[in-house]
Amino acid sequence: MSIESLKSLFRPELAELSAYRVPPSPPAVKLDANESPWTLPPEARARVASVMHTAEINRYPDGRAVELRKALAWGLGGSKDEYVLGAGSDELISLMATAMSAPRAGRERPVVVFPEPTFVMYRMTSRAHGWQTMGVPLDDHWDLDADAMAAAIEEAEPNLVYYATPNNPTGNCFSRDRIEALVNGFPNTLHVIDEAYGAYSGQSFASLCEETPQCALLGTLSKVGFAGIRVGWVRLDEALSAELEKVRQPFNLSTPSQMVATLALTDFAPLLEDHITTIVSERERLATELDGHGALTCFPSDSNFLLVHYSGDVPELCAALLDREIAVRQFAGGNERLRSCIRITIGTPEENQRLIEAVGDILG
């Protein structure tokens, strides 16, 4: 059998997709991936080492991650059986695309709806699973266009609707009343509210999740200092979580990931709160400094990054920053409104100051 014959066995939807690429060598100041800039202090590292000393890594990890799910229920509410765990929220998006793929009556494929621009994996993962995707443009203020979203849901009868709030890459929270109206107005669709950046906004839809079984909450530790352990979760009604569990691989989270994540949600919670407070303060400082340049305009942010409009040549600015060992995110393709923007992750105070000085040097 030839390579071409083998390639013909892949899903046809893959022809329209590109692999998600990560730069191989990060520069000294990495402000392009929305990670927390803080490493654990020595005493916290010692605590991790102490816990890991007891790990039986010759055995499979706890397939149900009981202690971690207890920690999630303790910290975020609900019962431990409402939580399904994955390797980052990316895996949960894939699990939902696998488990909830039955087409509606009269339709050839399941449908997913999301506002855009937003997190690219909603579209990429759904297309890779053969779903029909429907993106609905955000309004002029990067908020949900409630009427357009309602019309899309009415027309497409989606199995899933995603709302990232705060939204990536725009940084803002969507209007709560608009999300609540859509969740309550379409009870036969699962509405997944992605709170990956919720720690920086001080807002949560936990109460809506508790009141309406058609609402689920997606979360992760990747944005608050633990991107390297790859732990995410989705909280949803126990009857739905039981179905989703059927497609989760039994040992998808390693023993080290479970142990460190449990510490993050319990013993390390005060430390993370301090880091989050500092990042929010630095976000406001950085926005003020960047807005001082006439060519730059920062959009309001509720997250750990800023979306910044630049009136000049975006690739040229990003290249000039990279020459100074500073990486930010640019948007070469995709949404046209983003092509004149850069996304800047909030770093440490020292990293932010280095960015401020570099921008001043470049723009004068």
We report the CATH number of the domain holding residue 295 as 3.90.1150.10
- pLDDT of res. 12: 87
Res. 10 pLDDT band, cuts 50 70 90: confident
pLDDT tens-digit map of 200-213: 999 999 999 999 99
We report the CATH number of the domain holding residue 143 as 3.40.640.10
- pLDDT of res. 152: 98
Distance separating alpha carbons of residues 112 and 313, to the nearest angstrom: 35
Residues whose CB falls within 8 Å of the CB of residue 188, separated by 6 or more in sequence, listed in order: 157, 214
Res. 2 pLDDT band, cuts 50 70 90: confident
Q: Does the residue 47 lie in any domain?
A: no
- pLDDT of res. 247: 97
Of 5-14, 213-222, 284-293, the range with the lowest mean pLDDT is 5-14
Q: Does the residue 347 lie in any domain?
A: yes
- pLDDT of res. 27: 85
Res. 67 pLDDT band, cuts 50 70 90: very high
Are 330 and 242 found together in one domain? no
Strands (E), the chain: 29-30, 83-86, 111-116, 132-137, 160-164, 190-194, 215-220, 232-235, 296-298, 305-310, 326-327, 329-330, 341-345
What does pLDDT average to over the chain?
Answer: 95
More confident: 34 or 332: 34
Are 120 and 209 found together in one domain? yes
Average pLDDT score over residue span 9-29: 81
Distance separating alpha carbons of residues 176 and 182, to the nearest angstrom: 10
| Residue 142: DSSP 8-state | S
Give me the number of domains the chain comprises: 2
More confident: 9 or 271: 271
- pLDDT of res. 21: 73
Are 69 and 175 found together in one domain? yes
Average pLDDT score over residue span 74-98: 97
Q: Does the residue 49 lie in any domain?
A: no
| Domain hosting residue 106, numbered range | 56-267
Are 325 and 280 found together in one domain? yes
- Specify the residue for token string 């000393």: 53
Res. 308 pLDDT band, cuts 50 70 90: very high
- pLDDT of res. 160: 98
- pLDDT of res. 1: 57
Rounded to a whole number, what is the largest CA-CA distance in the chain? 62
Whether 17 shows a pLDDT value over 90: the answer reads no
Whether 5 shows a pLDDT value over 90: the answer reads no
Distance separating alpha carbons of residues 93 and 205, to the nearest angstrom: 18
Res. 4 pLDDT band, cuts 50 70 90: confident
Are 157 and 237 found together in one domain? yes
Q: How many CA atoms lie within 13 A of 202 on its CB side?
A: 4
Res. 3 pLDDT band, cuts 50 70 90: confident
Q: What is the DSSP string of 125-136?
A: HHHHTT-EEEEE
Q: Does the residue 14 lie in any domain?
A: yes
Average pLDDT score over residue span 236-251: 97
Of 16-20, 135-139, 219-223, 307-311, the range with the lowest mean pLDDT is 16-20
Average pLDDT score over residue span 162-175: 98
Classify residue 340 as exposed, middle or buried by CB count within 10 Å of its CB (0-12, 13-18, 19+): middle
Residue that is last in its domain, among 242, 267, 292:
267
Average pLDDT score over residue span 8-26: 80
- pLDDT of res. 332: 81
Of 4-8, 33-37, 109-113, 169-173, the range with the lowest mean pLDDT is 4-8
Average pLDDT score over residue span 271-289: 97
- Say what percent of the chain tops pLDDT 90: 90
Residue that is last in its domain, among 238, 267, 296:
267
Are 303 and 221 found together in one domain? no
